[in-house]
């Protein structure tokens, strides 16, 4: 707990943090940035540490839940999840631990396959060179690696279409 003069600010920051965390989860870095708007030059570390002690702020849980939702429900690849968590100021070691847990629970190839099937339910699977390239670029932007994309598309696309793509015809 801070000294006497800053007790009111400390309590106000805890209330503000509680209100923010009641709406959605934040990483420690995100919450520090949000609270710094209200704290001015006051140190925020004691507030953030107290929130961690109360288990209201937990980067490991945040990274795991974020990655699970994005990979499992929204069809993101590991690279896109990693980049997004880095932007949310989650430490790299925490991100890697969360991704390792998720990838042990979910097969990335299955996630990719389900996403492609779902996406292609609205429109047919591509059969021409340009459409296949466009799909591959889309999947790369979603954070999937080249090998996973190739393996899944070889499985899903007609053999003749994939061969034309590989040979460039």
Phi-psi region of 57 (alpha: psi -120 to 50; beta: other; left: phi over 0): beta
- List, for residues 56-91, the tens digit of each pLDDT value: 999 999 999 999 999 988 999 999 999 999 999 999
Residues 53, 81 share a domain = no
- List, for residues 109-151, the tens digit of each pLDDT value: 999 999 999 988 888 888 889 999 999 999 999 999 999 999 9
Residues 8, 48 share a domain = yes
Q: What is the pTM of this model?
A: 0.84
Residues 69, 26 share a domain = no
pLDDT at 9: 85
Residues 134, 85 share a domain = no
Q: CB count, 10 Å around CB of 86?
A: 13
Residues 115, 99 share a domain = no
Distance separating alpha carbons of residues 16 and 10, to the nearest angstrom:
10
Residues 118, 96 share a domain = no
Number of folded domains that form the chain: 3
What residue numbers bound the domain in which 97 lies?
60-105
Residues 149, 124 share a domain = yes
Which of the 8 DSSP states describes residue 19?
H
Residues 86, 49 share a domain = no
Q: Which two tokens stand for residue 3?
A: 């000294």
Q: Which two tokens stand for residue 85?
A: 């968590």
């Amino acid at each position: 707990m801070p000294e006497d003069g800053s007790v009111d600010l400390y309590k106000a920051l805890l209330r503000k943090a509680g209100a923010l965390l009641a709406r959605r989860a934040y990483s420690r870095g995100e919450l520090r940035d949000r609270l710094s708007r209200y704290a001015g030059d006051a140190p925020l570390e004691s507030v953030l540490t107290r929130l961690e002690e109360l288990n209201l702020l937990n980067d490991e849980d945040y990274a795991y839940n974020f990655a699970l939702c994005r990979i499992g429900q929204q069809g993101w690849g590991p690279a896109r999840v990693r980049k997004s968590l880095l932007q949310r100021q989650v430490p790299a070691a925490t991100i890697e631990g969360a991704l390792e847990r998720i990838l042990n629970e979910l097969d990335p190839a299955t996630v990719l396959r389900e996403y492609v099937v779902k996406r292609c339910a609205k429109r047919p699977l591509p059969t021409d060179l340009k459409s296949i390239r466009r799909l591959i670029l889309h999947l790369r932007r979603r954070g999937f690696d080249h090998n996973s994309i190739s393996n899944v598309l070889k499985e899903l696309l007609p053999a003749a279409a994939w061969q034309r793509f590989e040979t460039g015809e």
